[in-house]
Amino acid sequence: MVDKIEIAPLDKNGNPAKDKDFKVLFNPTTYSIAKTVTWSPISSKLDAPPLNYGGGGSRSLSLELFYDVTEPINGILIKDVRQETNKIVELTRIQKDLQRPPAVQIRWGAAPPANSDFPFIGVVSSLTQRFTLFSSDGKPLRATLSVTFTEFLDPELDKRQTDPEFTTRRVKLGDTLSGIAAEVYRDPARWRLIAEANNLDDPRHLAIGGTLAIPKVD
């Protein structure tokens, strides 16, 4: 079975929003990652002046996604390709609870090497849709989407994750708050500390792949 790119919108805590993730219709044949690094020359009389490091820019991930619904998908006939492409379009719209478009986590493939391109967390910074085939009643059946995601860092989440009073943990299949509390604090009853630190509305259901802030205690 082919692993397809999976896109999961993130909630206010930086965890995949429940039941909002989706997979692309077809995997791209290529993708590109770009990153800028700023270096400024220091005035000197040398042939090659010394350089002063000015910081790194956000990475950007560019994908070209192909959509075609002229044939049934998983046994289901889709009459308008926008039923699929609008899932990407939705990522450009302001979400009421966030007051901005959502950040997303993009996953592709299982257990990639450390420091790989995926999973990639970013926001849609550019989207172009091109429809190329239509039914007799004018509904688009085929489309190509050119989409660029810019790496996203939530300031509040980053502050919480880099605060010396906190550490973080990525949720794995089978994890529970009481189990994590037992492992970290040697006391499963302290699961409420983790729930409160992450503003969890339903601590019984943890998003696999999401990140939890684990507060330190004396």
Query: Which sign, positive or negative, has the C-alpha torsion 124, 130, 133, 136?
Result: positive
Dump pLDDT digits (tens) for 93-133: 999 988 999 999 999 987 677 777 888 999 999 999 999 99
- Judge contact between 161 and 168, C-beta under 8 A: yes
pLDDT attached to residue 160: 56
Per-residue confidence at 146, pLDDT binned at 50, 70, 90?
Answer: very high
Q: How many domains does the chain have?
A: 2
In whole angstroms, what is the distance from residue 205 CA to residue 81 CA? Answer: 33
Structure confidence by residue, pLDDT tens digits, 130-140: 999 999 999 99
Residue 1 lies in a domain: no
The verdict on 148 and 199 lying in the same domain is no
Task: Give, for 197, the enclosing helix (H) or strand (E).
Answer: helix 191-197
* Residues 115 and 197 both lie in one domain: no
Q: How confident is the model at residue 77, as a pLDDT?
A: 93
pLDDT, greater one: 4 or 48: 4
Q: Residue 148 above 70 pLDDT?
A: yes
Of 153, 172, 189, which residue is a domain's last? Answer: 153
Examine residue 88 and state whether it is found in any structural domain, yes or no: yes
Greatest C-alpha distance within the chain: 71
Q: Return the structure tokens found at 138.
A: 């004018």
164 band by pLDDT with thresholds 50, 70 and 90 = low
* Burial state string for 138-173 with b = 16 or more CB within 10 A and e = fewer than 16: ebbbebebebbbbbbebeebeebbeeeeeeeeebee
207 in Cβ contact with 173 (< 8 Å): no
Do 174 and 108 share a domain, yes or no? no
Do 149 and 176 lie in a common domain?
no
Domain extent for 165 = 157-215
One domain, residues 62 and 104: yes
128 and 185 fall within a common domain: no
